[in-house]
Amino acid sequence: VQDVASSQDPGSGGEEGSRRRWKEEISQILREIQAPLSPLLLRLCHWLLPKLLTRLFLGVQLHRGQLEMVLRAARTPEVPLVFLCSHRSQVDGPLLSFILLSQGIGVPRVAVSARTSPRLRSLLQRLGGIFLPSGMAQTWSDRDEGLPGAVLDVYVQEVLRSRQPLVLFLEEPPAALQLTDPARRWLLRLLRALRDGAVPDVLVVPVGIAYDVAP
């Protein structure tokens, strides 16, 4: 991050002023990516979500054998879990988060589409949602990601080091079976974290969610 900031620094305002300006910009990028988790909101949603699910669906089926494999993987020391999931509806994120939390795996960080209102974005961030920084929204070249890309690299490395479960959706509903640009950017961060030795290994868990009728 320091290398990228230095390469973009025009050199005006003095060294101290430049350092302060870059620190503020980096903090702003981090605030766009995530917000502190709210234990109160998490408990409230953990109580409300089952009531919502009973209104949306006749039933929710969970493959016990696959769940046992996930729980076994979660006990692997020093190895973070990354869930790669197809995206069938906007219910996928809350549903998967609820299952992981209820099984004692922890509150996952869930990559969310940028196409959300500011209020909904603020709420989802308090529940574990993470977003690409706005500076990357209009950038298509990895070489032009600049400071937002560098901060995102470090952020993903810290999430993996702290063994927070990470959920990445590979497409946007309605699912087109095509890797989206945001998904590609998140996956690129995983590859860089492994290449740079930020973590020794990552357990990738494929997740499938299907609906008789998509909500």
Q: Give, for all 215 residues of the chain, the pLDDT tens digit.
A: 877 777 776 555 667 777 888 889 899 999 999 999 999 999 999 899 889 888 888 888 888 888 888 888 888 888 899 999 887 788 888 888 888 888 888 889 999 877 778 888 899 999 999 999 986 755 545 556 788 989 999 999 999 999 999 999 988 776 567 788 888 999 999 999 999 999 989 999 988 888 887 66
Instruction: Give domain status of residue 71, yes or no.
Output: yes
Do the Cβ atoms of 209 and 85 come closer than 8 Å? yes
pTM: 0.85
Instruction: Give domain status of residue 122, yes or no.
Output: yes
Question: Looking at residue 90, what is its pLDDT?
Answer: 81
Instruction: Give domain status of residue 16, yes or no.
Output: no
CB 12: neighbour CB atoms within 10 A? Answer: 8
Question: Looking at residue 156, what is its pLDDT?
Answer: 95
Instruction: Give domain status of residue 55, yes or no.
Output: no
Instruction: Give domain status of residue 114, yes or no.
Output: yes
Question: Looking at residue 211, what is its pLDDT?
Answer: 83
Instruction: Give domain status of residue 201, yes or no.
Output: yes
Tell me the C-alpha distance between 14 and 27, whole Å: 20
Question: Looking at residue 144, what is its pLDDT?
Answer: 61
Burial 64-75 (b: 16+ CB within 10 A, else e): eeeeeebeeebe
Burial 93-121 (b: 16+ CB within 10 A, else e): bbbbbbbbbeeebebbbbbbbeeeeeeeb
The total number of structural domains that make up the chain: 1
Number of alpha carbons in the 13 Å side-chain half-sphere of residue 95: 22
Residue 165 CB contacts under 8 Å (≥ 6 apart), including other chains: 74, 80, 81, 82, 83, 100, 105, 106, 107, 108, 109
Question: Looking at residue 143, what is its pLDDT?
Answer: 56
Instruction: Give domain status of residue 151, yes or no.
Output: yes
Question: Looking at residue 87, what is its pLDDT?
Answer: 79
Question: Looking at residue 58, what is its pLDDT?
Answer: 85
Instruction: Give domain status of residue 1, yes or no.
Output: no
Name the residue range of residue 157's domain. 63-207
Question: Looking at residue 13, what is its pLDDT?
Answer: 60
Tell me the C-alpha distance between 191 and 169, whole Å: 16
**SS3 (DSSP) at 178:** coil
